């Protein structure tokens, strides 16, 4: 009898999984109305993944009339069940006041829950809030802690913010070598702000061996990526020979063209 009961309980789960897969297949094909048709009944019986997908569809107007209120409603249901991506999106909606009454405290609350599950973008957003004291008690140490967690997952903006905190000694001990390490990681992801800052470290010999050539190289790469590094480059050229400048330019082209895999000259 117990086996029969277990079987009857399990059969609806199989059916639900099949319906969810149909929804995903329709969504991937761009048939959003069919996807919505599959996700809606699953959402009403508590399928958290389907609830998140409905939130996404309402948020972007895919297969439905766009509605921030409906998006927030379904994100809320999924977030209450612990779906980190829903918690993050709900945090964004509270932050912006879309579909809900704007609340920094609610935004921070949902970012916190997603961050504690390892969601890097939520960790970054939570760190920014600790830095600014929005929705939480301002804390440089907590900001650094959450930047660290996001940076360790490769979040380039978190890496730059963490580097800047180590450079200035805000919330952490001032350690130029650690600042250089995190600027380097973000720079190798093509982040122009990090590339420029890494160039300034090389120009001053902070956390790295002083090198005008490497400073110029990173400034040049930052310029390739749209960052205004003209002032730094002018300052560097006043300290460099024509041969040094030519070498730095050759190195920057080599680094850029190799997608940052060959940046050692």
pLDDT digits (tens, 9 = 90+) for 202-212: 999 999 999 99
Mean pLDDT of 66-89: 97
In whole angstroms, what is the distance from residue 121 CA to residue 132 CA?
Answer: 17
Note whether 84 and 118 are within 8 A (CB): yes
- Percent of the chain clearing pLDDT 70 (strictly above): 93
Give pairs for 139-146: CB < 8 Å, separation 24+.
139/171, 140/165, 140/170, 140/171, 141/171, 141/172, 142/171, 143/171, 144/170, 144/171, 144/172, 146/115
Q: Which tens digit of pLDDT belongs to each residue from 125-152? A: 999 999 999 999 999 999 999 999 999 9
pLDDT surpassing 50 at residue 36: yes
Nearest partner of 128 among 112, 106, 116, 117, judged by Cα: 112
Decide yes or no: CATH 1.25.40.10 for domain 155-264: yes
Given a cut of 60, is residue 1 above it in pLDDT?
Answer: no
Domain positions in the chain: 155-264
Residue whose structure tokens are 């932050």:
95
* pLDDT over 90 at 264, yes or no: no
Q: Which of 134, 205, 191 is nearest to 161 (CA)?
A: 191
- pLDDT tens, 147-172? 999 999 999 999 999 999 999 999 99
Q: What is the pTM of this model?
A: 0.90
Q: Are 91 and 119 in contact (CB under 8 A)?
A: no
Give yes or no for residue 12 having a pLDDT over 80: no
pLDDT at 5 over 90: no
Task: Calculate mean pLDDT across residues 199-221.
Answer: 97
Give how far Cα 235 sits from Cα of 102, 130, 200, 252, Å: 46, 36, 11, 17
């Amino acid at each position: 009898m117990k086996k029969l009961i277990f079987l009857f309980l399990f059969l609806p789960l199989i059916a639900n999984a099949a319906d969810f897969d149909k929804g995903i297949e329709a969504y991937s094909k761009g048939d959003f109305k069919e996807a919505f048709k599959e996700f809606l009944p699953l959402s009403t019986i508590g399928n958290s993944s389907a609830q998140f997908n409905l939130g996404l569809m309402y948020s972007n107007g895919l297969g439905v009339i766009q509605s921030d209120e409906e998006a927030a409603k379904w994100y809320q249901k999924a977030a209450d069940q612990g779906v980190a991506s829903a918690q993050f999106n709900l945090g964004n909606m509270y932050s912006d006041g879309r579909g809900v009454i704007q609340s920094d405290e609610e935004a921070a609350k949902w970012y916190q829950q997603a961050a504690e599950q390892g969601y890097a973008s939520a960790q970054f957003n939570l760190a920014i809030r600790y830095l600014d004291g929005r929705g939480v008690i301002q804390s440089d140490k907590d900001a650094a802690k959450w930047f660290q967690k996001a940076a360790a997952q490769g979040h380039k903006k978190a890496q730059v913010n963490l580097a800047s905190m180590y450079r200035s000694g805000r919330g952490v001990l001032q350690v130029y070598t650690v600042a250089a390490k995190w600027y380097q990681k973000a720079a190798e992801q093509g982040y122009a702000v990090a590339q420029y800052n890494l160039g300034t470290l090389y120009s001053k010999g902070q956390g790295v061996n002083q090198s005008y050539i490497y400073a110029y190289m990173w400034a040049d790469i930052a310029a390739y990526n749209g960052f205004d590094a003209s002032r730094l480059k002018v300052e560097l050229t006043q300290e460099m020979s024509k041969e040094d400048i030519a070498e730095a330019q050759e190195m920057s082209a080599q680094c850029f063209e190799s997608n940052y895999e060959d940046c050692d000259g």
